[in-house]
Amino acid sequence: MENVDDATIYLRQMELGPMQNFVYLVGDPVARECVVVDPAWEIDTIVETVERDDMRLVGALVTHTHQDHVGGSLESWGMPGRIPGVEDLLERVPLKVHVHKAEREFLKGFGSDLVQVDNHDTLKVGRLTLTFMHTPGHTPGSQCFLVDGRLISGDTLFIGACGRTDLPGSDPSEMYYSLTQRLAALPDETVLFPGHNYGGDSSTIGREKRENPFMRYASLGDFLRTMGGGRIITP
């Protein structure tokens, strides 16, 4: 568990659950308010960490609605059981859940607690402003969160890799544009915080543009040929 807070930002990265998911707490250390990104696993740990840090949880942000990021039944994955997720968090802490409008339909039963967001929307957390970036490809409503020179990237961009594009709802062409147009346009010094611990805890956009093969394809055709009709084949 790493604490990266300073005077301007409170940012805690927690690797929770059996699938190397990173859950983030992001907020304002002066106002002592924070949001949680992708609360799927170990809800007790999330709530207790917020309390121990003397912060107040004021919202939840969803990078995309796969169960390992929001919780839910594992039946569709052919596995027994369920991941506690947003549903259990809302029983502990009343708050709004921010999901991209393209995936609103996949979060059922939360009523007015759900807030649909779109590209370029912003959210104030204390003195901080978070910006939502729509980065479809892994899923139709995948989004990243930009805050104070940091990017929380969900399953769009990993260190040295990108999210799968062979799943229902995936679109390798959209992934290509999300990686090479939207995320590649961010300043090189932007610090990257991915949705899984697949290659370390953080990187930068500049380093990924130099070293991540999935950000380096010259054309959509080359990218799609490597993705093999939707399956990732590491080049």
Q: What is the DSSP string of 169-181?
A: T--HHHHHHIIII
User: In the bound complex, what is the minimum distance in angstroms from residue 92's beta carbon to Zn ion?
Assistant: 24
CB of 138 or CB of 150, closer to Zn ion: 138
What the block records as the tokens of 89 is 């968090």
CB of 29 or CB of 71, closer to Zn ion: 71
Q: Which stretch binds Zn ion (CB under 5 A): 9-17, 152-160, 178-186, 215-223?
A: 152-160
User: In the bound complex, what is the minimum distance in angstroms from residue 221's beta carbon to Zn ion?
Assistant: 25
CA 199, distance to chain mean position in Å, is 16
Sole binder of Zn ion in the list 42, 88, 155, 208 (CB under 5 A)? 155
Helix axes 85-92, 43-52, angle to 10 degrees: 40
What are the phi and psi torsion angles at 99 (to 5°)? -130, 145
CA 144, distance to chain mean position in Å, is 6
**196 touches Zn ion by CB under 5 A:** no
Q: Which stretch binds Zn ion (CB under 5 A): 21-29, 64-72, 118-126, 222-230?
A: 64-72
Stretch (H or E) spanning 115: strand 114-117
User: In the bound complex, what is the minimum distance in angstroms from residue 232's beta carbon to Zn ion?
Assistant: 13
Torsion of CA 191, 23, 60, 132, to 10 degrees: 30
**66 touches Zn ion by CB under 5 A:** yes
User: In the bound complex, what is the minimum distance in angstroms from residue 139's beta carbon to Zn ion?
Assistant: 6
What the block records as the tokens of 169 is 């709802």
Name the DSSP letter for residue 178. Answer: I
User: In the bound complex, what is the minimum distance in angstroms from residue 226's beta carbon to Zn ion?
Assistant: 20
CB of 33 or CB of 155, closer to Zn ion: 155
Give 159's Cβ-side CA count (13 Å radius): 14
Q: Which stretch binds Zn ion (CB under 5 A): 21-29, 38-46, 61-69, 107-115?
A: 61-69
User: In the bound complex, what is the minimum distance in angstroms from residue 196's beta carbon to Zn ion?
Assistant: 9
Residues that bind Zn ion (CB under 5 A): 66, 155
